[in-house]
Amino acid sequence: MEIRAVLFDIDGTLLYTGGAGARAWQRAFAELYGVDAAIGEHTHAGMTDPEIVAIVFREVLGRPGSADEHERVMARYLAHLEEELAAADGYEVKPGIEETLPRLRERGVLLGLVTGNLEPAARMKLARGGLDRYFGFGGFGSDSRDRTELTRRAVERAAAAAADPLPPAAAIAVGDTPRDVAAGHGAGIRVVGVATGAYSVAQLSAAGADWALETVAHGFPI
């Protein structure tokens, strides 16, 4: 079936923030609780922002934390993220993205996001690279801490944005981790795995990606 909607992950797929996200989390937990969150030691690529908060509370602070505490940490994270993004020397848009997005848009393909980022964090990260103008909808960590569920939300919003009915077979996701692959399949869509993050083509293929590519410029299915 013709592919009419493409849903992109952000970190490792569209861009790399140069560590801005991890530094913003570190600052948020240090400010509120005086601890080193050690984000790199306790989290893995593909996790949602709410998952990150829950893991740091459990593994660093030794307790689950209340819903209000989680909200406060995420609010402080967002407050620090904009500053960290502006100062990040290592920020980069991933290879092939700046050519692929306008090409897809010109063909009338719906472009959405499927990301574990809170929506405000997603918009900040995209804005630094001038990519925010391509994406009007998506599924976000602020929709659900479960990546499969937020992917379902993105598929539903793609269908709502389509002029005609959009069956799941007409949508694909693009991500750089096995979690992205599992979430896309869990939501009933095919997945392009790109080796622009922490995982190789072989690892993404082994995880079940329908297409496993070096970058979006190498064999993208549309």
Q: What is the pLDDT of residues 114-169, one digit of tens each?
A: 999 999 999 999 999 999 999 999 999 999 999 999 999 999 999 999 988 899 99
Name the residue range of residue 107's domain.
5-17+91-213
- What's the total number of domains in the chain? 2
- Mean pLDDT to the nearest integer, 82-110: 96
Strand 92-93 versus strand 15-16 pairing type: antiparallel
CATH of the domain at 61: 1.10.150
Split at pLDDT 50, 70, 90, the class of 179 is very high
pTM value is 0.94
Nearest CA to 121 among 75, 89, 183?
Answer: 75
Residue 109 in any domain: the answer is: yes
CATH of the domain at 143: 3.40.50.1000
- Structure token digits, residue 53: 């908060």
Strand 171-175 versus strand 137-139 pairing type: unpaired
Task: Verify that 147 and 108 share a domain, yes or no.
Answer: yes
Residue 167 in any domain: the answer is: yes
Helix or strand or coil: residue 14? coil
Task: Verify that 144 and 203 share a domain, yes or no.
Answer: yes
Task: Verify that 105 and 209 share a domain, yes or no.
Answer: yes
- Structure token digits, residue 58: 């459990």
End of a domain among 55, 87, 119? 87
The separation between CA 158 and the C-alpha centre of its own chain, rounded to angstroms, equals 16
Q: Burial of 87 by CB count in 10 Å (0-12 exposed, 13-18 middle, 19+ buried)?
A: exposed
Helix or strand or coil: residue 113? strand
- What share of the chain in percent tops pLDDT 90? 93
Residue 187 in any domain: the answer is: yes
Task: Verify that 110 and 202 share a domain, yes or no.
Answer: yes
Task: Verify that 197 and 140 share a domain, yes or no.
Answer: yes
pLDDT, one tens digit per residue, over 12-44 is 999 999 999 999 999 999 999 999 988 888 887
Task: Verify that 11 and 110 share a domain, yes or no.
Answer: yes
Residue 148 in any domain: the answer is: yes
Residue type, 212: A
Mean pLDDT over the full length of the chain: 95
**CA atoms of 195 and 85, how far apart (whole Å):** 23
Q: Residue with structure tokens 């849903």?
A: 7
- Mean pLDDT to the nearest integer, 62-81: 97
Task: Verify that 75 and 35 share a domain, yes or no.
Answer: yes
> What own/partner pairs with CB < 8 Å and gap ≥ 24 does 33-42 have?
33/61, 35/60, 35/61, 36/60
Task: Verify that 78 and 146 share a domain, yes or no.
Answer: no
Task: Verify that 83 and 132 share a domain, yes or no.
Answer: no
